[in-house]
Amino acid sequence: AQTVTQSQPEMSVQEAETVTLSCTYDTSESDYYLFWYKQPPSRQMILVIRQEAYKQQNATENRFSVNFQKAAKSFSLKISDSQLGDAAMYFCAYSFTGNTPLVFGKGTRLSVIA
């Protein structure tokens, strides 16, 4: 079975600084999808970024980018120029295809310090 591990239960970053959230996963598949979701205090689940495993180029969305290391099964999220609104719980997730059930990590709570 696929598993997703987020080894940092909590992280903090100064406003305007850069922070990296770690995620590792285990799968025997060669093609799959990885996601980062953000959950602010409103508890809404918001997709931040996704990565298709067959694409070597790392995905980017504005201030958010990933470092996808397929051989190492690592999928970290980098947030640049951190803002107060980035404070949230962040979940890493895996799916075999883009629209099959997601397997989530346990989450990393990010605090942003003004």
Partner 1 sequence: DADVTQTPRNRITKTGKRIMLECSQTKGHDRMYWYRQDPGLGLRLIYYSFDVKDINKGEISDGYSVSRQAQAKFSLSLESAIPNQTALYFCATSDYREGLTADTQYFGPGTRLTVL
Pick the piece of the chain touching partner 1 (CB under 8 A) from 13-21, 39-47, 63-71, 76-84: 39-47
Could you tell me the end-to-end alpha-carbon distance of the chain, in angstroms, rounded to an integer? 41
CA angle 69, 109, 50 (to 5 degrees): 35
Q: Map residue 86 onto helix, strand or coil.
A: helix
Spatial distance between the Cα atoms of 55 and 108, rounded to a whole number of angstroms: 25
Query: How many residues at the interface with partner 1, by CB under 8 A?
Result: 23
Residues 77-106, interacting with partner 1 (CB under 8 A): 91, 93, 97-99, 101-106
Report the SS3 class of residue 50.
strand
Smallest distance from the beta carbon of 105 to partner 1, in angstroms? 6
Smallest distance, partner 1 to C-beta of residue 17, A: 26
What is the token pair recorded at 25? 């996963």
Q: Supply the DSSP symbol for 72.
A: T
Specify the residue, 10 or 15, whose C-beta has the smaller distance to partner 1: 10
For residue 87, the minimal CB distance to partner 1 (Å) is 17
The two tokens of residue 16 are 């305007």
Q: Which residues in this chain contact partner 1 in the complex, by CB under 8 A?
A: 4, 6, 9, 33, 35, 43-45, 47, 50, 52, 91, 93, 97-99, 101-107
